[in-house]
Amino acid sequence: MPKPTRHDYRIALWLGACFILFFLFFNHGHLTGTDEVGVYLGTVSLYEDGDLAVGTGKYNSRGRGGEYYSIFAVGQSALAVPFYAAGKLMQETLPPKSVARWIGRHKERVVATVESPPIFAVGLYAPLASGILVGLFFLFERRLGVSLRNSLLAAVLLGACTYVASMSTYFLRHTTEAIAILSAFYALSGWRQSGRPGSLAAGVLFASATLLIRVPSAITGPVLAAYMLFTLRERARSDRPPNWGRVAVAVLVPAATVLAIHMGINQWKWESWIASPMLDQSSDFTTPLPVGVAGLLFAPGSSLFVYSPLLLLLPWTLPGFWQRYRAECVTLLACAASLLLLSAGFKLWHGMWSAPGPRMIFAATPLLMLPLGPWLDRDHGAWLRAALVTLALWGGVTQLLLLSARWRAIIEIMQYRAWDPPWGFFWEVPASPVVGAARAVWAGEIDLWLVSLWRGVPGREAAPELALVVLVVWGLAVVVCTRRLIVAVRSGS
């Protein structure tokens, strides 16, 4: 495997910056569902009280001292603390009238209508994380030996034409989870190529960190551990075996550190080193596996392939990847399969109502897109090139609809809560959330903060002049980042 160059890292930086700006354009400016609120309240508690107690709520349980704690892992809540701090600073320094005009509106019972500078600032975490994911994906393609041109193309297709785009507007943990898994895989592949203990330590650290971000994603840990053992065996048989003492330190120290943090937090919240309300959900694995698998792969309203149509090319992209990178191919398929099987058996396998799409297996999307880059480097017939363009357009339009439409409006327009059986709409094409997004956009139910600033929303008057200023600043930033990216690409060619 070739090593990414300094130019590659510069390109990844500016590519990620361009996508951050792209995703920012569609930012909601508010939270959307209870899952987001659960993670956000953890951030509030960490900043305001230096504690993890969050009070009563849908996803909170009674723990130490009778206090209520979120059942979610603390990782993303902690990562979002700087964003919350920036929002608090904005709230405390800007004139109250300006804050009310730009970001605030009257609080109501519905989550999606509650706005404040801290909520707005924390919402910026999602596009930033999604941009980082796109840049990391580009670097992985370069490590796989893909040409610069096609590494860029594959990364752009990932960011603009797959489920990665939709998730850039939600303060959910799935993008962070995907970054951790992909980073672990990337670092371990770097260890395989270079034999540097630092890469091995980074791989183990990121793989272990999934436990601090989203506990179910730790299901990929054994797969990544198996890949690591394969690389250790490969290194042991090489002409220059590694220093096994350093290898032991690189493996044990990060893993033990993360495990200690996880168990310490668990003890803090639930007075137990291992048991927790999240693990108690094992009793909720009541969905027959064939039903969940079929829903996540084939149902029109929740299929991985509907939200990321480019994955329909897997029968053509995988064979070549298997021939050239057999260990990596097995690893990415095993990671995706483990996420699929775990999620498929869960009672709420579909992830409703926090966001449309197969968010429970979101991390599988960038993993399964990796073979696209090597495939693009090979010659293909006209019909395959046409299929690539068609699927990219389908995915791009799908993402634009989902990015633009108000998710709560989709639920109301499609009358999802009135369906009998409850989740029957997943299996009907006319009732799918993508169709619902098109209907919502047609009805003017667009959930962009910039649009709401322009035309106003209930509880906040229109401020078109401010919207125009923001749009101009955003456009200038896009021009600067795009030019920087072009310069970096040319210098790296």
- What are 179-193's pLDDT values in tens digits? 999 999 999 999 998
Query: At a CB cut-off of 8 Å and minimum separation 6, what does 452 contact?
Result: 29, 460
Taking the CA atoms of the chain, what radius of gyration do you get in angstroms? 23
Structure tokens at 250: 């690189």
> Is pLDDT of 471 > 70?
yes
For residue 69, give the 3-state DSSP assignment: strand
Q: What are phi and psi of 194, to 5 degrees?
A: -105, -25
Please tell me which of 35-39, 241-245, 253-257 the model is most confident about, judged by mean pLDDT: 253-257
Distance CA 226, CA 328 (A): 11
Question: Is residue 351 assigned to a domain?
Answer: yes
Give the chain's length: 493
Considering the domain architecture, whether residues 239 and 156 belong to the same structural domain is answered as yes
Q: Which of 177, 187, 226 is nearest to 75 (CA)?
A: 177
State whether 243 and 377 are in the same domain. yes
The Cα 463–Cα 205 span in angstroms is 46
Instruction: List the structure tokens of 386.
Output: 């046409």
pLDDT band at 157 (very low <50, low <70, confident <90, very high): very high
Do 207 and 233 share a domain, yes or no?
yes
pLDDT value for 431: 93
- For residue 422, the model assigns a pLDDT of 84
Q: What is each CA distance from 349 to 28, 40, 87, in whole angstroms? A: 25, 23, 34
Can you give the pTM of this predicted structure?
0.95
Do 85 and 132 fall within a single domain?
no
Instruction: Judge contact between 75 and 213, C-beta under 8 A.
Output: yes
What is the total count of domains within the chain?
Answer: 2
- 129 and 236 both lie in a single domain: yes
| Same domain, yes or no: 139 and 274 | yes
Encode pLDDT of 109-137 as tens digits. Answer: 567 678 889 999 999 999 999 999 999 99
Identify the CA nearest to 111 among candidates 58, 28, 34.
34
Q: pLDDT tens digit string along 191-215?
A: 998 889 999 999 999 999 999 999 9
- Is 460 in a helix, a strand, or coil? strand
In a domain, 490, yes or no: no
Q: In which band, very low, low, confident or very high, does the pLDDT at 243 lie, cut at 50, 70 and 90?
A: confident
Cis before 316 (ω within 30): no
* pLDDT cut 70: percent of the chain above it: 98
Tell me: do 219 and 247 sit in the same domain. Answer: yes
Based on the domain organization, do 118 and 169 belong to the same domain?
no
Question: What is the C-alpha separation between 108 and 115, in angstroms, rounded?
Answer: 10
pLDDT range class, residue 107, cuts 50, 70, 90:
low
Question: How much is the pLDDT for 108?
Answer: 58
Tell whether 450 is covered by a domain: no
d(CA 115, CA 29): 7
**248-264: average pLDDT:** 95
| Cα–Cα distance, 400 to 480 (Å, whole number) | 23
Domain boundary residue, one of 68, 92, 123: 123
Cα(315)–Cα(298) distance, integer angstroms? 16
Backbone region of residue 271 per phi and psi (left: phi > 0; alpha: psi in -120 to 50; beta: other values) = left
Instruction: Quote the mean pLDDT of the chain.
Output: 91
Does a structural domain hold residue 492? Answer: no
Whether 103 and 140 map to the same domain: the answer is no
Residue 464 domain flag: no
What confidence tens digit (pLDDT) does each residue in 50-92 have? 888 888 777 788 888 888 888 889 999 999 999 999 999 988 8
Answer yes or no: is pLDDT of 168 > 90: yes
For 37-46, 163-172, 376-385, which range has the lowest pLDDT when averaged over its residues? 376-385
How much of the chain, in percent, has pLDDT values that exceed 90?
71
Mean pLDDT confidence for 441-452: 93
412 domain residue, yes or no: no
Position 110 in a domain: yes
Same domain, 41 and 137: no
Domain end position, chosen among 365, 398, 431: 398
The stretch 265-271 carries a mean pLDDT of 89
Choosing from 70, 104, 123, the residue where a domain stops is 123
Cα-based angle 279, 284, 285 (whole degrees, multiple of 5) = 100
* Residue ranges making up the domain that contains 242: 125-288+306-398
Each residue's pLDDT tens digit, 389-412: 999 999 999 999 999 999 999 999
**434 in a structural domain:** no
In a shared domain, residues 103 and 132? no
Kindly state whether residues 199 and 264 are assigned to the same domain. yes
**Residue 106, burial from CB neighbour count under 10 angstroms (0-12, 13-18, 19+):** exposed
